[in-house]
Amino acid sequence: MPELPEVETVRRGLAPAMEGQKIVRAQVNRPDLRWPFPDQMADRLEGARVLGLRRRSKYILADMDRGETLLIHLGMSGRMLVSGDPLGQFVHDHPAPEKHDHVVLDMENGARVTFNDPRRFGAMDLLPTQTQDSHPLLASIGPEPLGNAFSESYLDQALKGRSMPIKTALLDQKIVAGLGNIYVCETLYRGGIHPGRRVNRIAERRIAALVPIIREVLDEAIDAGGSSLKDFRQADGELGYFQHRFDVYGREGEPCRTEGCGGQIARIVQSGRSSFYCPLCQR
């Protein structure tokens, strides 16, 4: 599933084609994805002007001039693809329709935005902009890791007294928004912390040190266009490249990249997810 860097990459790719533009035609080709689409979704989108695009955790939010916000979740295989952009940001003409093109938005500038999702685990919803923070999908999400509310003192207090593994804690969206398996593995490697170590067994200074590391990992991944493992594509259809810089994720049995370490990357399973780490560097 796309994590924060992939979703932010898609948001940035959509912005030149959608922000400030009116949706002149909305085509909804099925009644649902992971959940049913909202009532009269196409009619509510057509004629609306997109005021701006934001990201909250792993959701893209498109605020519109009618007082509604379009919420987009990519799910496991969802792609938001742009074609025909007159600003020259994208190189593709409008492609022929594909089987899994579930929502198609034609913008007044000639751009077309297509939500393609073969597995249909993605989602779209329309919600009142003024009360969006109370939406069930957004209400309990923690602070953004790249925002000011996510600080050393916040993380220390949020984790204080918890006995869960540190990796489990960082994956909890109520504690911090948008982190997923890939970037937590990479963060813990850089922080020298074993993914299975209990939070209450980690010194406060080591927990505090994770905050700048998390930001560093996310910034690097966003700059690289995210990580493309299976289905992820940027809005122009290109792959992300951060997967070529993984230190531990997916590298089981390969040598640790820490100079002088000599260890090999190992894998354990935590709550059904693979955790990759160096047994010598991470304690």
The CATH number linked to 50 is 3.20.190.10
Q: Exposed (0-12), middle (13-18) or buried (19+): which is 182, by Cβ within 10 Å?
A: buried
> Do 102 and 189 share a structural domain?
no
Is residue 145 situated within a structural domain?
Answer: no
Active site residue: 2, 143, 165, 195, which one?
2
Q: End of a domain among 70, 103, 134?
A: 134
> Do 118 and 71 share a structural domain?
yes
Is residue 28 situated within a structural domain?
Answer: yes
> Do 200 and 238 share a structural domain?
yes
Active site residue: 11, 58, 167, 190, which one?
58
Is residue 263 situated within a structural domain?
Answer: yes
What does the alpha-carbon distance between residue 282 and residue 224 come to, in Å, rounded to a whole number? 26
| Domain containing residue 163: CATH number | 1.10.8.50
Q: Return per-residue pLDDT of the chain as tens, 283 residues.
A: 678 988 998 898 899 999 999 999 999 999 999 999 999 999 999 999 999 999 999 999 999 999 999 999 998 888 898 888 655 555 556 777 789 999 999 999 999 999 999 999 999 999 999 999 999 999 999 999 999 999 999 999 999 999 999 999 999 999 999 999 999 999 999 999 999 999 999 999 999 999 999 999 999 888 877 654 444 444 454 433 344 468 999 899 999 999 999 999 999 999 899 999 999 999 9
pTM of the model: 0.89
> Do 128 and 10 share a structural domain?
yes
> Do 164 and 206 share a structural domain?
yes
> Do 163 and 266 share a structural domain?
yes
Active site residue: 66, 206, 273, 279, which one?
273
58 part of the active site: yes
> Do 156 and 127 share a structural domain?
no
> Do 83 and 192 share a structural domain?
no
26, β-bridge pairs = 105
Q: End of a domain among 134, 165, 184?
A: 134
Active site residue: 3, 8, 68, 186, which one?
3
Q: End of a domain among 134, 160, 186?
A: 134
Is residue 189 situated within a structural domain?
Answer: yes
Structural domain range at position 173: 152-277
273 part of the active site: yes
Question: How many structural domains compose the chain?
Answer: 2
Please give the helix or strand (H or E) that residue 110 lies within, else none: none
> Do 230 and 201 share a structural domain?
yes
> Do 91 and 20 share a structural domain?
yes
Residues 281, 282, 283: CA angle, nearest 5 degrees: 120
Give the β-pairing of 79-83 and 112-116. antiparallel
> Do 169 and 73 share a structural domain?
no
> Do 21 and 112 share a structural domain?
yes
